């Protein structure tokens, strides 16, 4: 079994690695918390984006209330809180924008083949789950605040309770950068793509997301929120982040669904 990471999270190190953009963000690090998303959602309002990283989360969560399992020192867990100028109805697409940012950063670090699974999973080149993204929003007056939570497996953590294959950065990146450097790289890309998203929505990022899509053009089976299962061929994403699927009855745009299988069309 691999030893747990010994590198310590450090706000000053993250700040230094961010370079000039560090002036635009507040950075905090805690040894443990329930959930970095929850901490930032409950934090006082601020005009400056805030980042919070934790070595351990006791109540980390994923999409649809699923639990995000955390092992001290084995993962990268952080959230970024930012005011958004786009209308609240458009903010679902920010999850896809965040996926582009994280994939950019990890590919630049040497993670070949890292891909995105709609709407918010990170996969390795073999389709194993590497991480996930959870965006939560809150209205404050006439504007909205978005908290983007990022969870990435840093070191392998064998767990018999996991129902699917998982991957970790230590298997993909050689040499393995510190968590501080990787958090800074992802945060820098997040700031860039959220600036783009605020300016023009998903329009300028949609093509890049589709180029990273693990299931591009494949035949899919998807489970809808009501439990219904439908089949069709991936047809890309819409400007609002909905997944477009070509079915026997025409193209459908899905805003809430789970991909349960994929194979070449």
Same domain, 182 and 242: no
- pLDDT given at position 154: 96
- pLDDT given at position 140: 78
- pLDDT given at position 160: 45
The verdict on residue 5 lying in a domain is: no
Same domain, 169 and 247: no
Same domain, 229 and 199: no
Report the mean per-residue pLDDT for the chain.
Answer: 90
Residue 143, pLDDT above cutoff 90: no
Same domain, 259 and 154: no
pLDDT tens readout for residues 225-240:
999 999 999 999 998 9
CATH code: domain of residue 62: 3.30.930.10
- pLDDT given at position 61: 62
Same domain, 68 and 176: yes
Best CA proximity match to 180, nearest among 76, 86, 81: 76
pLDDT tens readout for residues 95-125:
999 999 999 999 999 999 999 999 999 999 9
Same domain, 17 and 125: yes
The verdict on residue 171 lying in a domain is: yes
Same domain, 123 and 82: yes
The verdict on residue 87 lying in a domain is: yes
254, β-bridge pairs? 243
Best CA proximity match to 135, nearest among 81, 86, 182: 81
Domain with 236, as residue range(s), is 219-263
Give residue 69's pLDDT band: very low, low, confident or very high (50, 70, 90): low
Same domain, 82 and 19: yes
pLDDT tens readout for residues 159-197:
545 567 899 999 999 999 999 999 999 999 999 999 999
CATH code: domain of residue 239: 2.30.30
Across the range 65-81, mean pLDDT stands at 80
Domain count for the chain: 2
- pLDDT given at position 162: 56
The verdict on residue 6 lying in a domain is: no
pTM for the full model?
0.91
Number of neighbours of residue 94 by Cβ within 10 angstroms = 26
3-state secondary structure the chain: CCCCCCCCCCHHHHHHHHHHHHHHCEEEEEEEECCHHHHHHCCCCCCCCEEEEEEEECCCECHHHCECCCCCCCEEEEEEEEEECCCHHHCCHHHHHHHHHHHHHHHHCCCCCCEEECCCEEECCCCCEEEEEEEEEEEECCEEEEEEEEEEECCCCCCCCCCCCECCHHHCCCCCCCHHHHHHHHHHHHHHHHHHHHHHCCHHHHHHHHHHECCCCCEEEEEECCCCEEEEEEEEECCCCCEEEEECCEEEEECCEEEEEEECC
């Amino acid at each position: 079994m691999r030893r747990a990471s010994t590198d310590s999270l450090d706000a000053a190190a993250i700040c230094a690695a961010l370079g000039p953009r560090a002036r635009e963000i507040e950075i905090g690090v805690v040894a443990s918390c329930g959930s970095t998303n929850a901490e930032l959602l409950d934090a006082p309002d601020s005009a400056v984006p805030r980042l919070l990283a934790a070595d351990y989360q006791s109540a980390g969560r994923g999409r649809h209330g699923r639990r995000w399992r955390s092992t001290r020192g084995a993962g990268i867990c952080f959230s970024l809180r930012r005011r958004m100028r786009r209308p609240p109805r458009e903010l679902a697409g920010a999850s896809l924008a965040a996926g582009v940012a994280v994939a950019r950063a990890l590919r630049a670090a040497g993670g070949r083949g890292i891909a995105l699974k709609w709407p918010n999973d990170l996969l390795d080149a073999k389709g194993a789950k590497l991480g996930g993204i959870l965006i939560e929003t809150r209205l404050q007056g006439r504007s909205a605040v978005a908290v983007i939570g990022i969870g990435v497996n840093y070191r392998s953590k064998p767990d018999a309770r996991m129902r699917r294959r998982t991957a970790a950065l230590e298997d993909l990146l050689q040499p393995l950068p510190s968590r501080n450097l990787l958090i800074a790289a992802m945060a820098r890309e997040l700031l860039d793509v959220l600036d783009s998203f605020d300016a023009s929505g998903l329009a300028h990022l949609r093509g890049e997301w589709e180029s990273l899509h693990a299931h591009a053009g494949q035949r899919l089976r998807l489970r809808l929120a009501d439990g219904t299962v439908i089949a069709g061929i991936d047809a890309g994403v819409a400007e609002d982040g909905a997944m477009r699927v070509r079915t026997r009855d025409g193209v459908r745009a899905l805003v809430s669904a789970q991909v349960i299988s994929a194979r070449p069309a």
